[in-house]
Amino acid sequence: MLRFLFRRFLGAVVILFLLSIVTFLLFFGMPRDPALLMCGKTCNPASLANIHHVLGLDKSVPEQYGIFLHNLFFGSNQFAQGPCPAPCFGYSYHTNDQVWSTLLDRLPITVSLTLGGAVVFLIVGLGTGMIAAWKRGSLIDKMVTAASMVLSSMQIYFLGPLALAILVFQTHLFSKPAYTDFTSDPVAWFDGLLIPWVVLSTIFASQYTRMARSSMIEQLQEEHVRTARAKGMSRKYVFFRYAWRGSLIPIVTIFGIDLGSLLGGAIITEYTFGLPGLGHLAVDAVSFSDLPLLLGVMLFSATMILLFNIIVDACYAFIDPRVRLS
């Protein structure tokens, strides 16, 4: 098992490496010259060339990539903006802030949004899904199924603005989404994230409802579940011990994927609610052709996705002894 995880880990490192190359190349395909951004008001070919030199854009692409990798692992003192300890993604072209500290700075926002949302949608989604599976065929089940079908077809870019319009602008029931540090003001933190959580959870919860319901129903038809019932175990016991354990696998898989990609930047959600998290940072990085930032966010996002893939694999082992012991 450990060897397996170690192999997965190595694989993830290789993928990250390739990803950084792709992003690097992608950036050089971008139709804009980042130096123009820094060149400012009094731009002329000489100062542009100078900025190219300062940014290292006059070096060949492989060379630039080499420097990037070196800085990433060993840090660098070559930056005019100051020293850059490892992991060094350099300084943003646009804000002149250290990319790594910017990422760390924005991370709490995305983490708050994602984890808060995840707690709600996991509890609500799995809860309703299991109730529906338990009461399969009943009116409740039918209502839950229909509602989750419709809600899961909603998009954040519709539900978000709608929630804003109705709950914030029309009725003033809620505050407009904004981020406050939990440590500085927990109430404001909660207040500002409430609507994003609700919207994010509504859509995700309905997907988890559907998933939990169908995988519970599938599991309930498993032979070993029937065996457990044949042993005289109560329906509840069978439901929560036997069927539940089996239906965890698809749920954990999807949850890992969702959490990984959300933590790498819940782009549309953050954009819809104007929360300056990693996703928003990514959009900014793209629109400003901010290579160091873009690379940073990309690699960070991919790391999250891969990390959670590995965590999911580890969870499999936890859930399923067949995986653990093979």
Partner 1 sequence: MTTLTKEAGAPVPADADAFLSVRDLHVSFKTEDGIVKAVDGLSFDLERGRTLGIVGESGSGKSVTNLTILGLHDPKFTTVEGEILLDGQELTTARESDLEKVRGNKAAMIFQDPLTALSPYYTVGRQIAEPFMKHTGASKRAAWERAVEMLGKVGIPNPKERAKDYPHQFSGGMRQRAMIAMALVCDPDLLIADEPTTALDVTVQAQILDLLRDLQQEFGTAIVFITHDLGVIADMADDIMVMYAGGAVERGTMNEVLRSPQHPYTWGLLNSMPRLDSDLDEPLNPIPGTPPSLLTPPSGCRFHPRCTFQDRVGGTRCVTERPLLAPDRASACHLTAEQKRTIFIEEIKPRLG
Partner 2 sequence: MSRGGRHAYAALSVFAAGALVLTGCSKGGSDASDNNKKDQENAKRQQSSIKFGDAADSTGPATAVAGAKSGGTMEVLQRDSFAHLDPGQIYVSDEMALSQLIHRGLTGYKATSTDGKQHEVVGDLATDSGTTTDGGKTWKYTLKDGIKFDNGTPITSKDVRQTFERLFAPFINQGPTYIQQWLADASGADYRKLLPDGPYKGKHLASNVLETPDDKTVVFKFKSPHPDLPYALAMAGYSVVSQKGDTKEKYDKSPVTTGPYKIQSFKSGKSMVLVKNTNWDPKSDPIRSQYVDQWDFTFNQQFEQSTKALLADSGADQTGISLSNQVDAGNLSNVLKDPKMKSRTISGYQPYVGQMNINMSKPELKDIKVREAIAYALPVTPFVRAFGGTDAMEVAGGLLSPTVSGYDPNFDPFGKKKKPAGDPAKAKKLLEEAGKLNMKLTFGYINTPEGQQYSTAMAAGLKKAGFDVQRQEIPAETYYDQVSKLDNNYDIFHTAWGADWPSASTVLPPLYDGRLIADGSQNYSQVNDEHVNSEIDRINKITDPVKSAAAWEKLDQYLLTKVVNVVPTAYYKQIQIAGSKVGGFVYDDVIGGVDPRRLFIK
Partner 3 sequence: MWIRFKRDRTGVISAFIVLIFFAIAAAAPLIAKAYGKNPYTVYADERPELFDSAGVPIQPNGGISGEFWFGLEPGNGYDVFTKLIYGIRTSLMISIAVTLAVVITGILLGVTAGYVGGKTDYSIGRVIDFLLAFPSQLFFIASMPVVVSLFVSPTDETPTYVRVVALIVVQWVLGWMSLARILRGTTLALREREFIEAAKVSGASPWRIIRREILPNVVTPLLVQSTYLLPNFVTIEAGLSFLGVGIVEPTPDWGQMFSKASTELVLQNDITYMFFPGVSMIIFVVAFNLLGDSVRDAFDPKSAR
Q: How far apart are CA 86 and CA 1, in angstroms?
A: 31
Instruction: Look at residues 178, 206, 200 and name the one whose alpha carbon lies nearest to residue 190.
Output: 178
Using CB under 8 A, list all residues that contact partner 2: 31-33, 36-44, 46-47, 50-51, 54, 80-82, 94-97, 102, 105-106, 169, 176, 178-179, 274, 276, 287-289
Task: Return the number of the residue (31 or 137) whose C-beta is nearest partner 1.
Answer: 137
Structure tokens belonging to residue 233: 């175990």
Which one of partner 2, partner 1, partner 3, none interacts with residue 153, CB within 5 to 8 A by kind?
A: partner 3
Residues 244-273 interacting with partner 1 (rule: CB under 8 A)? 245-246
Residue 116 in the binding site for partner 3 (CB under 8 A): no
Which one of partner 2, partner 1, partner 3, none interacts with residue 81, CB within 5 to 8 A by kind?
A: partner 2
Strand partners, 76: 84
Q: Supply the minimum distance, in Å, between the C-beta of residue 324 and partner 1.
A: 9
Binding mask 235-274 for partner 3 (x = CB under 8 A): --------------------------x--xx-xx--xx--
Q: What single DSSP character describes residue 174?
A: S
Q: How far is CA 283 from CA 112, 268, 287, 303, in A?
A: 19, 10, 6, 18
Strand partners, 173: none
Task: With beta carbons less than 8 A apart as the criterion, state whether 265 and 277 touch.
Answer: yes
Amino acid at position 136, single letter = R
- Which helix (H) or strand (E) is 20 found in, with range? helix 2-28
Which one of partner 1, partner 3, partner 2, none interacts with residue 232, CB within 5 to 8 A by kind?
A: partner 1
Taking CB under 8 A as the criterion, the residue among 128, 301, 310, 312 binding partner 3 is 301
Using the contact rule CB under 8 A, the part of the chain among 103-111, 168-176, 206-214, 234-242 near partner 1 is 234-242
Using the contact rule CB under 8 A, the part of the chain among 19-27, 157-165, 182-190, 216-224 near partner 1 is 216-224
Q: What single DSSP character describes residue 89?
A: -
Task: With beta carbons less than 8 A apart as the criterion, state whether 279 and 166 touch.
Answer: no
Task: Return the number of the residue (228 or 266) whose C-beta is nearest partner 1.
Answer: 228
